[in-house]
Amino acid sequence: MTHIFIAISALPCLVNDRPPSPQSIIANDLASLAQRVETIHVVFKKHYRQPVGPEHIVGYSKRPPSTPLEKFTQRFERTLAIRHEAAGNTIVDCYEMKWRPNAMYLKTSRERHAADGTTTISGPRQDYFSASGTTHLHHQIKSANISTNVSIGQGSGNYLHAIGVLLPRSVSYSLAELLGHSDARLTIGNTDVLDGIRTLEVTVNAPMPSPAQNAYQGGSSTYLKLWLAVDHYHIPVQWQIWNSKTSKLLHFHRNVDFRTVRDQKRGSSLVLPFRYQRGHDPSIATVVAVEDIELNLHLPDSDFRPSIPNGWNVVREGVVRASKGLKGSSADWRNRIAESTSEARELLQSRGAEVTPAPTPTSYWSITYVLVVVAALIGVVVVALRTRRKEIL
């Protein structure tokens, strides 16, 4: 009887000693990764990979866009790639990103490398994302766009998407939260080696939890396939979005070139990707090359606080509500107008537009002088005629 009592009393200990499930292990590892990334400063470039033939362009356009913005973006990027491939040009977008929880700064400029060896740079554009809204500074058109729309996760080419700290189109939802969600139905697959990294295949079956459906712009029929690095916090090496009804690949992302990055705060290191590909079709994917990563470096508040220069138009919620005045004399105004006109002409010329030579300020003064003299002569003649008429009468 005593033996039975001991056995029964030991059952809770045996139950508590059960090993954790693979789902909880993966979710905990990814949560630990997200906690380690407190701040990050990344400098990277996005190269547009040109289509190799019309068949890839057709396949690319078959995917139905889910939003008007996505439709415009697909058509614009496809047209851009075709035109510049025909002209022998290369497009490179340059980014500098600074991030901390609930705040992000993104600086963007575009390099256009022509076939004749010349390079044209447009921009920069500065985007400030916070929990209270977004501010976009367009330097070429001297305009600031302020919105209450919160879209921290929507920064173009956001590096946090690559490592799973944030899901696309989300403010704070991470891959760890998705895989640890009570409604997430996971299928654990086989292990494989991708680019020298041991990975585990994991499938988040449809229907995925609603935050994931919003993040990946999919419906109840979409599911997520992941290849996670077993020895590095289960960081994603590759992920794909599929439609279970049509068996069509909707989006893919592949991390390569993993390197060791020093944790500035803890003095330890973390393995992170320095190159990745993303898109809807591997044949016309964009390639992102990371130049530098600073992990957990102190980032002051001023890095995330926009400063709008004097003389810029300020657009709030799509409506021009204010314009920051230009300080200085009338000469400052003339210089400011001349500067804006010159930048506009250079932008048009870089896009192939024919622009007639601009008249110099001297010619404006000459024309004004001639008009004043002519008006004075006309005034003298009129006065003389009136005087002569009075004398006759």
In a domain, 280, yes or no: yes
Beta bridge partners of 14: none
φ/ψ of 312, rounded to 5, equals: -85, 150
Is 46 a domain residue? yes
Q: For the segment 123-158, what is each residue's pLDDT rounded down to a tens digit?
A: 889 999 887 888 999 888 888 988 887 665 555 557
Verdict on whether the full-model pTM lies above 0.85: no
- Residue 4's pLDDT is what? 44
Under the banding of pLDDT at 50, 70 and 90, the label for residue 315 is: confident
| Domain boundaries, position 274 | 20-319
Q: Are 253 and 277 in contact (CB under 8 A)?
A: yes
Does 379 lie in the same domain as 305? no
43 token code pair? 């400098």
Decide which of 319, 349, 379 is a domain's last residue.
319
Same domain, 36 and 176: yes
Count of the separate structural domains present in the chain: 2
Q: Rg (Cα) of the chain, in Å, rounded? A: 30
216 and 112 within one domain: yes
Contact status, residue 178 vs residue 208, Cβ threshold 8 Å: yes
Question: Three-state SS for 301?
Answer: helix
| Residue 238 burial class via C-beta count within 10 angstroms: exposed 0-12, middle 13-18, buried 19 and up | buried
332 in a domain, yes or no?
no
Query: Would you say residue 336 lies in a domain?
Result: no
State the average pLDDT over residues 97-101: 91
Find where tokens 């340059």 sit.
94
Quote the CA–CA distance of 241 and 218 in Å, as a whole number. Answer: 9
Confidence of residue 386 (pLDDT cuts 50, 70, 90): low
- In-domain check, residue 79: yes
Q: What is the mean pLDDT of residues 63-83?
A: 58
Higher pLDDT residue, 343 or 214?
214
The verdict on 240 and 389 lying in the same domain is no
Query: With pLDDT > 70 as the criterion, what percentage of the chain qualifies?
Result: 63
Contact 83, 77 (CB under 8 A): no
Q: Return mean pLDDT, the chain.
A: 75
Q: What is the pLDDT of residue 53?
A: 36
The pLDDT of residue 126: 92
Q: Are residues 188 and 285 in the same domain?
A: yes
Residues 155, 63, single domain; the answer is yes
What was the pLDDT predicted at 286? 81
**pLDDT at 236 > cutoff 90:** yes
